[in-house]
Amino acid sequence: MEKNWYVVHTYSGYENKVKANLEKRIESMNMEEKIFRILVPMEDEVEVKDGKKKISKRKVFPGYVLVEMFMTDDSWYVVRNTPGVTGFVGSGSKPIPLNEAEARQIIRQMGVEEPRARIDFSTGENVRVTAGPFENFIGQIDEINIEKGKVRVIISMFGRETPIDLEFTQVEKIS
């Protein structure tokens, strides 16, 4: 099963209330394993009033909330029956997920960090450790865990091969 971003239609002006209600429902109904993040797409808007610059948040898609989730009957029910939600965006009764490029674009536009780094490492590849106690050590990637954002690197220390687990951001390719 794949988690995707879905667009939920809400009563206009209720986007933040729906987000709060949904977060409470996810916790109370133990849906943390199926429903992950809820975003109200916002962007900074600069307004000049009386010669003063004021930055405020503006809803990019009024009346809509993004929900990252596994689509199951249970998760659909929890979201669909949240106060303020009028339904999912999709054809007929079937919600249609955003494609990955659309979701990334909206998230990037909001300035929200992506949950995990996109990596271009492969097992067996040599890398340099760039941070932490093993900084500047050279090792070989043994295992990649995309979900956790980690790699296991085998380094040579005291004449022995030693596996260490590192964040994607703590290693770089050797060119």
Q: What is the mean pLDDT of the chain?
A: 87
Q: What would the pLDDT profile of 79-106 be if each residue is shown by its tens digit? A: 999 999 999 998 777 899 998 888 888 8
Least confident range from 19-28, 39-48, 128-137: namely 39-48
pLDDT at 114: 47
| Mean pLDDT, range 132-161, rounded to an integer | 89
Q: Do domains 3-110 and 126-173 have the same CATH topology?
A: no
Q: What is the 3-state secondary structure (H, E, C) of 64-95?
A: EEEEEEECCHHHHHHHHCCCCEEEECEECCEE
Rounded Cα distance, 62 and 11, in Å: 9
Q: Top-level CATH class of 126-173?
A: mainly beta
List the end-to-end C-alpha distance of the chain, in Å, as a whole number. 36
* pTM across the whole model: 0.60
Selection from 23, 39, 30 nearest residue 83 by Cα = 23
Range with the largest mean pLDDT of 87-91, 145-149, 161-165: 161-165
Q: 115 pLDDT exceeds 50?
A: no
The CATH number of 3-110 is which of 3.30.70.940, 1.10.238.10, 3.30.360.10, 3.40.50.300? 3.30.70.940
What is the total residue count of the chain?
Answer: 175
Answer with the residue of higher pLDDT: 57 or 1. Answer: 57
Which residues partner with 172 through β-bridges? 128
- Domain boundary assignment for the chain: 3-110, 126-173
Is the pLDDT at 127 greater than 60? The verdict is: yes
Q: Mean pLDDT throughout 93-121? A: 74
pLDDT at 111 over 70: no
